């Protein structure tokens, strides 16, 4: 309540600051060129004998790659699943010894290495894996992470049943020296979250429980038939929460740990904010909107509210500390995107007074007023 009161008292100050800034910058700069690299999804024909395709991008992970491959290739599998698994390692022109490690590692199942001649980035590398995958389901996994023993067999069982389009579970962060404590962490987590694994089939439950990243979960191949990760963007996983979730009709959430991922001190969320972060966020939302339109979803109001949140709360985080002119041009872009969505979806949902003020601030490029109102309502 105190925070809301303080924000309200600051509104006149924000109004005056915007008035003065708009005198200096009456028109927004042209938007930054889109970093999105256009591509057309190409898929190999399905192989009826393969249940699960595991796609692993590989770049600069020589220190952790053996542990990752061991955790995958030493998984205990029922006899009937031994020949129904394929593993696709996409080597993204890594300058270290990652390729040599893959080539010399003992291999099981249908094991393939795909080479990029030049480094292309995580999105393009995952897209290469998508184009090569022939399984009924696709499992994305990172090459510096570790699979929990036995989880792959559980995924194969779920894939064979075909009950859910997406199957996911819990994941744990680990530091680089924590491999000897994985079993203990897994045990304590499963004690806390054990029980039956629910199957969600209504949209609200799916949206609430589907985590917003691609790796560590099973995806039915049909969800990706005309969809790719936005190549060239920092936030390639954003298509999960902004577009792909509207295609999912069923979600199984396993009450167990499946993977242990390493915390990256150089990750995007820890980097100093630059205009690049804000623009990549804007263009990732534009890519998500294009995918949403192909989903034939009836959740127009939900999508609009989510987009509004992304262009408020999250864009605010990724523009904090930027100049008025930089943020102003992003608001102009956001206004164009919102206008397009509002015209095509015609959402019937009513905006709160705060949201109406925020929408007006976006339309008028009132940066300080927008920044003051672009927070989540709890």
pLDDT mean over 246-261? 85
pLDDT band, very low/low/confident/very high, at 192 (cuts 50, 70, 90)? very low
pLDDT at 249: 95
Q: What mean pLDDT value characterizes the chain?
A: 83
- Give the count of beta carbons closer than 10 Å to the beta carbon of residue 222: 12
Q: Are 226 and 294 in contact (CB under 8 A)?
A: yes
pLDDT mean over 9-27? 73
Domain map (residue ranges) of the chain: 9-35+272-373, 52-262
Does the pLDDT value for residue 11 go beyond 60? yes
Does the pLDDT value for residue 182 go beyond 70? no
- Give the count of beta carbons closer than 10 Å to the beta carbon of residue 50: 19
pLDDT at 194: 54
**Between these two residues, 3 and 285, which has the higher pLDDT value?**
285
**Between these two residues, 105 and 57, which has the higher pLDDT value?**
57
Does the pLDDT value for residue 5 go beyond 70? no
Span between the terminal Cα atoms of the chain, in Å: 11
pLDDT band, very low/low/confident/very high, at 220 (cuts 50, 70, 90)? very high
pLDDT at 277: 87
**Between these two residues, 36 and 298, which has the higher pLDDT value?**
298
Return the minimum-mean-pLDDT range out of 4-8, 251-255, 335-339.
4-8
Does the pLDDT value for residue 3 go beyond 80? no
Q: Domain 52-262's class?
A: alpha beta
Residue 16 β-bridge partners: none
pLDDT band, very low/low/confident/very high, at 15 (cuts 50, 70, 90)? low
282-337 residue pLDDT tens:
988 888 888 888 877 788 888 888 888 888 888 988 888 889 999 999 999 999 99
Chain-centre distance of CA 293, in angstroms? 18
pTM of the predicted structure, to 2 decimals:
0.84
Does the pLDDT value for residue 185 go beyond 70? no
């Amino acid at each position: 309540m105190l925070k809301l009161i303080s924000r309200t008292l600051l509104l006149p100050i924000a109004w005056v600051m915007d008035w003065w800034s708009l005198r200096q910058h009456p028109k927004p700069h042209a938007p930054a060129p889109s970093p999105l690299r256009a591509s057309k999804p190409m898929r190999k024909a399905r192989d009826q004998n393969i249940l699960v395709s595991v796609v692993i991008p590989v770049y600069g992970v020589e220190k952790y790659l053996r542990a990752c491959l061991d955790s995958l290739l030493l998984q205990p599998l029922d006899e009937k699943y031994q020949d129904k698994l394929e593993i696709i390692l996409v080597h993204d022109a890594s300058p270290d010894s990652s390729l040599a490690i893959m080539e010399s590692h003992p291999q099981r199942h249908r094991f393939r290495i795909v080479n990029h001649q030049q480094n292309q980035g995580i999105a393009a590398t995952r897209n290469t894996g998508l184009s090569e995958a022939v399984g009924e389901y696709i499992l994305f996994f990172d090459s510096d992470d570790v699979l929990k023993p036995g989880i792959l067999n559980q995924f194969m069982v779920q894939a064979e049943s075909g009950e859910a389009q997406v199957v996911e579970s819990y994941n744990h962060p680990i530091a680089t020296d924590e491999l000897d404590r994985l079993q203990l962490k897994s045990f304590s987590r499963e004690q806390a979250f054990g029980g039956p694994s629910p199957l969600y089939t209504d949209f609200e439950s799916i949206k609430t429980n589907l985590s917003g990243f691609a790796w560590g979960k099973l995806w039915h191949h049909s969800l990706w038939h005309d969809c790719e990760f936005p190549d060239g963007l920092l936030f390639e996983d954003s298509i999960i929460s902004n577009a792909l979730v509207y295609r999912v009709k069923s979600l199984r959430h396993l009450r167990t740990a499946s993977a242990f991922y390493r915390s990256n001190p150089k990750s995007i969320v820890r980097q100093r904010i630059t205009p690049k972060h804000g623009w990549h966020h804007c263009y990732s939302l534009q890519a998500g909107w294009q995918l949403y339109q192909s989903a034939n979803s009836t959740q127009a109001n939900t999508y609009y509210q989510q987009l509004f949140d992304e262009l408020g709360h999250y864009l605010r985080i990724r523009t904090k500390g930027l100049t008025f002119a930089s943020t102003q041009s992003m608001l102009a872009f956001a206004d164009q995107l919102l206008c397009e969505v509002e015209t095509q979806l015609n959402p019937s949902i009513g905006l709160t007074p705060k949201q109406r003020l925020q929408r007006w601030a976006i339309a008028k490029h009132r940066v300080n007023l927008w920044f003051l109102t672009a927070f989540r309502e709890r």
